[in-house]
Amino acid sequence: MTESQLKSFPSFKDLPIYDESDARANSIVSRPEIRECSTIQQVEDCIHDPHLIPLGGLRAKTNGGHIVIAYFGRRPPGKPSSQ
């Protein structure tokens, strides 16, 4: 998935996307119970899961260039999905 594809989802529009070498990426990837999504379909599935909240993304190098991986975390118990 590309950065523009991920940013096309309204819930990711204002969230950070860090390079994998950026120390700030740890704020996303080191959380407990995260879910990684590397395809548009996976992101769509997670967005519709009321137990998950979008956290941001990570740019990763591949043999063919860069891809973006979306990260979701578990919604805290008792917190409505509208927040």
Q: How far apart are CA 52 and CA 74, in angstroms?
A: 5
- Contacts with 44 (C-beta within 8 Å, 6 or more apart), sequence order: none
User: At which residue do the structure tokens 């409505």 appear?
Assistant: 80
Please state the rounded mean pLDDT for residues 4-23: 94
pLDDT at residue 83 greater than cutoff 60? no
Side-chain-side CA neighbours of residue 56 (13 Å): 17
Predicted pLDDT of residue 79: 66
17 pLDDT band (50/70/90 cuts)? very high
Half-sphere exposure of 20 (CA within 13 A, CB side): 9
Of 63, 72, 59, 54, which is closest to residue 22 (Cα–Cα)? 59
Reported pTM: 0.86
